[in-house]
Amino acid sequence: MTYCLGIRVREGLVALADTRITSGTETTTAKKISLHTNEHGTVFLMTSGLRSVRDKAVTYFEEILEKDGHKYDKMYNVANAFGTQLRRVAKEDKEALTSSGLHFNLFGIVGGKLSADTEPKLYLLYPEGNWIEIGTATPFTIIGNSGYGKPILNRVLNYESSLRFALKTGFLSFDSTRVSASDVGFPIDVIILKAETGEIIEKRFEEKDLQDISRTWGDKLSQIIKEIPEGWIDEINTLSDNRDDEMFISLQQ
């Protein structure tokens, strides 16, 4: 499985991807996020799905960028280009995969800001090659194992959050997934795009780099749970006691 997260806030974009690859009982690491540059700027791409399909689609995409990248001055052009390559790979491999009991399940996240874009853009691409733009109402998208990390993002993240807050929340979302899913893990790759300057920063974090943050997150969760009022639990106990009393009286009668 995979955990890839894209966040769009007013200050820019955050992308985070784990690197764990699981095949049977073997676990390796591989980069799931890539940067691609043309004369109009730099974009990032994250993918989730079968490794063979992912590698093929990304290879085709890079080839198209080398050939026609100079034509793409808006991010939707790039999203369309990758969607076309998804359909190309599906046409070549989907039937064979299906006959072998495998699903063509490649998803993608494309983000960046090119010369004709007025602001950074973020897109989610489906296996069919179509896409949606991530807007301001729900300013993030996850591909791969999304169930464990989504709640914290839904609760605290919004379009007005700072890049720093988005990155911190994104890591905690990943960490919640990592401790619950054995097929998601370190190292993690992070990309930050600053809307004001267009600067892109790329960084890889090993588990040792963030273990103190992970430990603090776990300790804080335990502490806040202990601090949550328990009056409602007392009411449950009272109701239980009342039912027991009523039952005892009924038996006596």
What's the chain's average pLDDT? Answer: 92
Instruction: Tell me which amino acid residue 153 is.
Output: L
Tell me the mean pLDDT in the region 77-102. 96
Tens digit of pLDDT for each residue in 214-246? 999 999 999 999 999 998 888 887 766 555 555
Number of Cβ within a 10 Å radius of residue 151: 11
Q: What is the pLDDT of residue 155?
A: 96
C-beta separation of 185 from 36 below 8 A: no
Per-residue confidence band for 27, with pLDDT thresholds at 50, 70 and 90: confident
Domains of the chain: 3-205 (3.60.20.10)
Residues in the chain, overall count: 253
Share of the chain above pLDDT 70, in %: 93
Q: What is residue 252's predicted lDDT score, i.e. its pLDDT?
A: 57
H-only helix segments in the chain: 51-68, 75-99, 150-156, 163-178, 207-227, 231-252
Assess contact for 36 and 189: CB atoms under 8 A: no
| Position 249 confidence tier, pLDDT thresholds 50, 70, 90 | low
pLDDT reading at 68 higher than 80: yes
User: What was the pLDDT predicted at 236?
Assistant: 86
- Compute φ and ψ for 153, nearest 5 degrees: -65, -45
The DSSP secondary-structure symbol of 153 reads H
Three-state DSSP class for residue 26: strand
pLDDT for residue 60? 97
Instruction: Tell me how many degrees the CA angle 57-61-65 measures, rounded to the nearest 5.
Output: 175
Determine which helix (DSSP H) or strand (DSSP E) holds 111, and give its type and residue range: strand 107-112
